[in-house]
A = this chain, B = another copy of it.
Amino acid sequence: MQRYFVHAEDWNNNEVIVRGDDAHHINKVMRSKNGDAIICNNPKGQAAICEIVSIESDHIKTVVKEWLEEAVELPIDVTIAQGLPKGDKFDFVLQKGTELGANAFIPFQAERSIVVWDSKKMNKKMERFTKIVKEASEQSHRNRIPFIHPTMSIDELLKESENYDVKIFAYEEEAKVSNYHSFGTVIENVLENQRLFVCIGPEGGFTAKEAELLKAEDFSPVRLGPRILRTETAALYVLASISYHYEELRCN
């Protein structure tokens, strides 16, 4: 069943109104009729099966038939801070990270980031980013759309990280020593509903100075397996591992 995220103001008691691109999608792409059912998600992360009761040119009126109880969100609240990578790799991190359950994303200007995002073009960029996470949330049947923060400096990032319970950063240097910090130990010690902050460097990784700053703010350096991952693969490794640990390994 097709899934749509609907703004809070379009939920009125039992009636849910779908507008804009989504209304167009229901009407013109899915060619739905009155009586057909869709799934609507509200911003609180709840989902309901809704029946279409009227199709207008610019909106679709539906009524709630049944609230769904789905446990599709990661039990840990994970924010991915990604050092600005080259090309369209951030798009990729957003799409795959959403599929894998991330709760929020923070792009940040790292010392070794080769690109600088033009602030004049940020509105357009954020529009595209928002569309990517919305579509990936619908496609992967999530109940929440991840939040995308504005681009931060490393100082802003350190400040933001104070709101989190556990903080880690992927540090390639850790993969080269045998006495490295175990990613497994960190993950095992995160409690349900705690907030995890994951910091990933850009293509060249973190500088020694950045690593020191992060360590001073209680970020634990971790390795993500003994192989060297590309920057855009690191967040995926972290999210897949957390899903595996909390959703597949312990669910017997």
Contact = CB atoms under 8 A, between A and B. Distances in A.
Contacts of A224: 243, 248
A142 interface: yes
A193 interface: no
Contacts of A141: 227-228
A187 to B, nearest CB: 8
Contacts of A229: 99-100, 140
12 contacts: A72-B227, A96-B236, A101-B227, A182-B251, A188-B249, A225-B247, A227-B243, A237-B244, A240-B241, A241-B241, A241-B244, A241-B248
Contacts of A25: none
Nearest to A3: B228
Interface in A205-252: 223-230, 233, 236-237, 240-241, 243-245, 247-252
A177 interface: no
A225 B248 contact: yes
A251 B96 CA distance: 27
A183 B99 contact: no
Work out how many copies of this chain go into the complex.
2
Contact of A240 (B70, B71, B101, B236): B236
B249 A184 contact: yes
A43 to B, nearest CB: 18
A185 interface: yes
Nearest to A243: B225
A139 interface: yes
Interface in A178-196: 182-185, 187-188
Contacts of A182: 248-249, 251-252
A233 B96 contact: yes
Given A225-B240, A225-B244, 8 more contacts: A70-B226, A99-B229, A100-B229, A140-B229, A182-B251, A184-B248, A184-B249, A237-B244
Contacts of A225: 100-101, 240, 243-244, 247-248
A2 to B, nearest CB: 13
A62 B55 CA distance: 73
